[in-house]
Amino acid sequence: MFTGLIEETGMVKSLMPGRNSVAIQISASKMLKDLHVGYSISVNGVCLTVIRFSGDAFTVDVMAETMRHTNLGDLLVGAAVNLERALKLGDRLGGHFVSGHVDGTGLIKDFRREDIATIIIIEAEKSILKYIILKGSVAIDGISLTVAGITENSFTVGIIPHTSSETTLLKKHQGEKVNIECDMIGKYVENFIVKVKGEKTESKIDEAFLKENGFL
């Protein structure tokens, strides 16, 4: 579990591709101070497991399923990535609950300035947009942001100068892919409603019941 508050931006040091997977070595500093093999770490919003670390870098495996649904397969050596360690019990929750299980990707459509903020327009599939709520939370490449606007095929978020300087988002360009994780509460509520509606219950009220209870 994460908060969407980026602790550090790391750099891809090396890529070791498999047939449908890749091992990514990432150089960092803060992340290594409390890191062990087997720990979870968020890389661009994707929850990954540390398989080894030494010196100034750690390595994570990215399997085929993760490659299909995130932008990690597009990373090149030298690319900057957003990093966050897993939430500790008792930590302040400054962002929102982020699982690191990305729902899919979107494309950056445009950037525009609005006073101190930078507004980012992100195109997304309807399967993602149905969970996007005005003034609700969304994680973009692991960054906890607030939805500022919604259209039929896109949504907007705004970032302040601090967020732009501490994350990779403004280093991206129009047309680049970003990881999107919708607020998990909406997904759980939808799942519950669908399951309840899909349940078929047999009524125990029949003619014998009505006679037994004096209705007939």
Q: Could you report the per-residue pLDDT of 100-152, keeping only the tens digit for each?
A: 999 999 999 999 999 999 999 999 999 999 999 999 999 999 999 999 999 99
Q: Given CA atoms 74, 76, 80, 81 in this order, what sign does their dihedral have?
A: positive
How much is the pLDDT for 142?
96
Residue 113 has a pLDDT of: 94
Percent of the chain with pLDDT over 70: 92
Q: How confident is the model at residue 89 (pLDDT cuts 50, 70, 90)?
A: confident
Find the mean pLDDT for residues 1-22: 94
- Tell me the pTM: 0.86
CATH number listed for the domain at residues 104-186: 2.40.30.20
CATH 3.30.2350.10 fits 8-85, yes or no: no
What pLDDT sits at residue 210?
57
Convert the pLDDT of each residue in 140-162 to its tens digit. Answer: 999 999 999 999 999 999 999 99
As annotated, the residues of the chain forming the CATH 2.40.30.20 domain(s) are 8-85, 104-186
Q: What is the pLDDT of residue 194?
A: 79
pLDDT digits (tens, 9 = 90+) for 153-202: 999 999 999 999 999 999 999 999 999 999 888 888 888 887 777 665 55
- Cα separation, 14 vs 23, whole angstroms: 8
CB 143 within 8 A of CB 46: no
Q: Among all chains, which residue has been given the structure tokens 């259209």? A: 151
- Predicted pLDDT of residue 55: 85
Please count the other Cβ atoms lying within 10 Å of the Cβ belonging to residue 93.
12
